[in-house]
Each structure stands twice: as C-alpha cells, then as structure tokens.
Amino acid sequence: MEFQELENSACLYWPKELAERAASISAISPLIETQDEFLSILTISTNKPTSCFDAVRLCNKISPNLFVKHLMVLSDIGGERLHRFFKDLDKIYPDRIMEFNIGNNSYSYQFNSNRAWTTKNLNVEKSRLLQPVSDFTREMLDVCMLILWGGNTINNTNLPTEIENNCILGNLIGNKEAIEQFVKERYIMVSRQTGGATANDLGHICEIFIKEKLYKLIDDNISLDGHHIDGVTHNDKDLTTFDIVAKNTITKKCVGIEISFQVTTNSTIERKAGLAKSRRDLLNSIGHKIAYVIDGSGNFQRSNAIKTIINHSDMTVNFSDNGINSLATFICETLK
C-alpha cells in the first residue's frame, strides 16, 4: 500500500471501539474521541468572548465538561493550579473582574463561582468524563474564560506568569492554521494531566484490538499469542520483541507485526522506521515476513518515516476494516 492510499483510508483519530476500551484506564480516550469536535468548535467560533460556549451547547458530540478538560490539557493548566488560582482569585482579580482585550476591543468578565475550582466541582475527574453534564456550571464557565482569555488581561500587576503565558487559547479562535500548529506542538500526549495511562497501556489496547480482529479472519492453524521468533535477535543475545507474531503452528513460519497508532506526533514511528530495513532483511533471510499496522494523525505528520516503513516492509496497512482484512489475507497466504 502506498503512503497516500494508506493515509486516505486511515482512521486518523481513535475509533469509538478503541476509545471506549481505553476509558477504563485513562482520561485520554474521551479526549481522543472528541478531539475533532473540540478543534472544530475553536475553528468555527468567533472572537466574541463567549461564542464557543454556544457552539458547545449546539454540539451533541462534546459535553461541557469534556470541553473544559480539553482546555485544561491544551493549556497545561491542571486541577492543582486551578484550585490555587481560585484561592488567590480576589488578589489576582480585585472585585473578581477580569478586564481583557481582544484585538482593539476591550471586555470585562465577572467571575461568579460559588465553589472552589477542583476537578470534582468542574466535572473533569476521570470517572466523570464519560458522564456528560448538560450545561456549563458557574465554575466551569469561569475556568473556561480564564483559560481562554486570562493571558489578555489588562491593567493588572498581580497576574501570575502561568496565566499570562498559558491562558492564551482564545487568541487562536477562528484561525484554523494557528490551532492546528498549536495542537501539533502541545496536545494530549505531552501533557502531564493525562498521566493516568502510559503509552504502553494504550499500545497494549491497540495490540489486543488488532489481535481480536485478526483471529476472526485467519486460519485455525495460525497463532497470534507470541512476541518472539526463534533465531531473530537484535544483539546476538536477546530475542527481538514484536507487538504480535503470527505463527503457523505446523510449519513454524512467522509474520512479525508492528503496531503504531499515534494521535499526536512523537518519535515512536521514527524508531520503527530506523529499524525497518534491518528487521525485514533479517526476517526474509530466514523465511519469515514483517508487517506494520500504522494509523493516527500524529503518525501521518511524519510522512518520511512511514514511507521508509512502507519501502522496507512486506505489508503495511492501517486500522480500517479494509486494512485489517488485507493484513489477514496476507498472513493466511504467507503462512499457508
């Protein structure tokens, strides 16, 4: 499969089934599932200070509490900092009024919170993210306004540096190119707030997902239970580990399978690309094959790495149904 064909038919963002599986271990999955809607809301909203709230209310795919969590992650303003800001709110904003500029226009906002800005009161605890709230509470609105426009505050000598530097998301509203660039640099995986699950946790979910799909499609004499292939080592000592190994239990012939689904760009795909040629050469030299399952908008931002993998693999597919079907066919034909 060529790069463009691979990208055009890719899922890019986590399929609903995968996102639901990740929900039990991570706050990240509902964010991944609603990322597209969140970015669309920022893109279509106007620079009227509260326009995005109206857009959220009209959208049935992203709840107000998920919108708040998206803002927290993207700004890297977590629950502890928000709680601290609330405790100091009267010092930061006398009379609890935030005066700020948008372009040449000046605005003021009255903070109306009755309760502290805790993750519980903001409905952004991991256990609540899959339980949508119907509308913004006072606390949620106040936090959104701070994260969106706090960095534009005027006539204030008490403004914490974190607010000045991080609470600038409102300036991106309506600018699709600026939003995409900002998200590319700072979104989800780089935030400390999603630390409830590691990349290994999510990678394991992807492996299970692919394995379950393949087991429904491959021959009965093919096993997917291993991670090593006899005689395949990376340092003449330790056996090389693959995400999945498809093995004919009679002939012992194998297909090593590597999997990567990254919504945000990181170096994982680069490492796989760096090993692609040597792995295929070694496997092919002893009668085995190697295949890759690659998806996610973050991976496709690193097109050269994916092209390298395609050029040095026996089969490369994405997470689409057609992609997995093609992989199953390849495995059955290779291991027959």
Residue 90 in this model has a pLDDT that exceeds 50: yes
What φ, ψ does residue 48 adopt, rounded to 5°? -65, 130
The CA distance from 140 to 76, in Å, is 16
248 Rama sector, left if φ>0, alpha if ψ -120 to 50, beta otherwise: beta
Per-residue confidence (pLDDT) for residue 14, from 0 to 100: 72
User: Averaging pLDDT over each range in 37-41, 91-95, 259-263, which range is the top one?
Assistant: 91-95
Who's near 181: CB < 8 A, 6+ residues apart? none
Q: Where in the chain is the domain with CATH 3.40.1350?
A: 199-334
If one compares 75 and 127, the residue with the highest pLDDT of the two is: 75
If one compares 155 and 200, the residue with the highest pLDDT of the two is: 155
The CA distance from 254 to 202, in Å, is 25
CATH number 3.40.1350 is the correct assignment for the domain at 199-334: yes
Per-residue confidence (pLDDT) for residue 176, from 0 to 100: 86
Tokens of 144: 């959104």
Tokens of 305: 């790495």
The CA distance from 189 to 198, in Å, is 9
Per-residue confidence (pLDDT) for residue 184, from 0 to 100: 63
Average pLDDT estimate for 131-157: 94
The CA distance from 52 to 69, in Å, is 14
Report the predicted TM-score, pTM, of the whole model to 2 decimal places.
0.56
What φ, ψ does residue 226 adopt, rounded to 5°? -95, 170
Per-residue confidence (pLDDT) for residue 201, from 0 to 100: 66
Per-residue confidence (pLDDT) for residue 199, from 0 to 100: 56
- At 213-222, the pLDDT tens digits run 999 999 999 9
